[in-house]
């Protein structure tokens, strides 16, 4: 699944407006207007590549006659020193677009690479790796795209497309209901029929509330592996279960073996390490 140009274009334009502003004064002052150059972008470490269409769009916007050739596709694994794109045209345009293009490529490849690492750890189980809403403001569509390129799946896009009753919702509901989890499920079914509704539970008692109220999707928050395994046994297929909280590469396989359907990981997007790429002008 690629990204629509209608999505990419305004995001790139905003990034260039932030970085270039009224103009790249360094390139304008130091580089002759008619100077031409060839350049390439290469990975400096093993990674899953993501964001190449965004790179191409960045250089399209800074130089209409700049030729960009993509040497890989999103989702490909790249080795150190492997070239993923070449550029040819006005030197000023290449220099102006360099940082914005690399910023997108490095972040999105970082998300895809980390997601692939988690997805590989749960291969052979029923668990699907999910992202969260812990994304960079304004770049959620790109962050979530990168998760899918890495082999994960998207949780809800925002507050508008799926109900997720979390702990703070339940604190408010506890003022009005002795069993806030059950009340939340019943309210979701009544007030938003047809919308996917999920409720967060912290223990097996709250899980039973959710099941008794007919919940179809339940988030197991910060439970131990033993508690999650028991939750799977008690649920017995009556609802889908999502594990969340305290998920690491070291622990994720054990979580998957409990039998949960989903494992959501905020770290995929909220604190991912960018992959190191470099743009080099050929001498």
Q: What is the pLDDT of residues 4-14, one digit of tens each?
A: 999 999 999 99
Interhelix angle 91-121/5-20, rounded to 10 degrees, is 120
pLDDT at 259 over 90: yes
pLDDT at residue 283, rounded to an integer: 87
Q: What is the CA radius of gyration of the chain?
A: 23
Assign 202 a pLDDT band (cuts: 50, 70, 90). very high
Residue 238's φ and ψ, nearest 5 degrees, are -75, -20
**Spatial distance between the Cα atoms of 192 and 44, rounded to a whole number of angstroms:** 49
- Say whether domain 5-113+272-281 belongs to CATH 3.90.1170.20: yes
Quick one: the chain helix, strand, coil %, rounded to 5?
A: 45, 20, 35
What is the CATH superfamily name and number for domain 120-270?
A: Aldolase class I (3.20.20.70)
- The mean pLDDT of 185-207, rounded to a whole number, is 95
pLDDT at residue 1, rounded to an integer: 58
Q: pLDDT per residue over 211-223, tens digit each?
A: 999 999 999 999 9
Displacement of CA 84 from its chain's centroid (Å): 21
Comparing C-alpha atoms, which of 257, 250, 205 is closest to residue 226? 257
* Same fold flag, 5-113+272-281 and 120-270: no
DSSP 16-66: HHHHHTT--HHHHHHS-TT-EEEEEEEESS-EE---HHHHHHHHHHH-TT-
**Spatial distance between the Cα atoms of 53 and 171, rounded to a whole number of angstroms:** 44
The Cα angle at residue 25 between residues 69 and 36, in degrees rounded to 5? 35
pLDDT at 53 over 90: yes
Comparing C-alpha atoms, which of 271, 270, 252, 272 is closest to residue 262? 252
**Spatial distance between the Cα atoms of 270 and 134, rounded to a whole number of angstroms:** 5
- The mean pLDDT of 225-249, rounded to a whole number, is 97
Backbone CA torsion sign across 139, 148, 5, 100: positive
Assign 251 a pLDDT band (cuts: 50, 70, 90). very high
User: Global pTM?
Assistant: 0.95
Displacement of CA 58 from its chain's centroid (Å): 20
Displacement of CA 144 from its chain's centroid (Å): 3
Q: Where are the domains of the chain?
A: 5-113+272-281, 120-270
Kindly state the tokens that stand for 99.
């940082």
Give me the percent of the chain exceeding a pLDDT of 70: 100
pLDDT at residue 65, rounded to an integer: 84
Q: Kindly report which listed range (30-34, 192-196, 223-227, 265-269) carries the lowest average pLDDT score.
A: 192-196
Residues annotated as part of the active site: 99, 134, 166, 200, 221
pLDDT at residue 64, rounded to an integer: 75
């Amino acid at each position: 699944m690629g990204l629509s140009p209608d999505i990419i274009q305004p995001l790139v334009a905003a990034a260039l407006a932030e970085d270039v502003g009224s103009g790249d004064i360094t390139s304008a002052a130091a580089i002759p207007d008619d100077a031409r150059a060839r350049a390439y972008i290469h990975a400096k470490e093993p990674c899953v590549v993501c964001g190449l269409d965004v790179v191409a769009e960045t250089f399209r916007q800074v130089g209409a006659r700049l030729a960009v050739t993509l040497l890989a596709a999103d989702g490909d694994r790249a080795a150190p020193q492997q070239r993923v794109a070449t550029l040819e045209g006005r030197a000023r345009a290449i220099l102006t677009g360099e940082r914005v293009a690399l910023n997108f490529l490095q972040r999105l490849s970082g998300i895809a690479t980390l997601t692939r690492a988690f997805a590989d750890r749960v291969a052979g189980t029923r668990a699907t790796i999910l992202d969260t809403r812990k994304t960079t403001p304004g770049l959620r569509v790109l962050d979530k795209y990168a998760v899918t390129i890495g082999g994960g799946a998207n949780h809800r896009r925002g507050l508008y497309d799926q109900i997720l009753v979390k702990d703070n919702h339940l604190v408010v509901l506890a003022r009005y209901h002795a069993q806030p989890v059950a009340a939340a499920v019943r309210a979701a079914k009544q007030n938003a029929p047809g919308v996917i509704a999920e409720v967060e539970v912290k223990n097996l008692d709250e899980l039973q509330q959710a099941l008794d109220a007919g919940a179809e999707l339940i988030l197991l928050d910060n439970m131990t592996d033993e508690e999650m395994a028991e939750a799977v046994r008690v649920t017995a297929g009556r609802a889908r279960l999502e594990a969340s909280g305290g998920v690491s590469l070291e622990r994720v396989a054990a979580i998957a073996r409990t039998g949960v359907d989903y494992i959501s990981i905020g770290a995929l997007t909220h604190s991912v390490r960018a992959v190191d790429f470099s743009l080099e002008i050929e001498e």
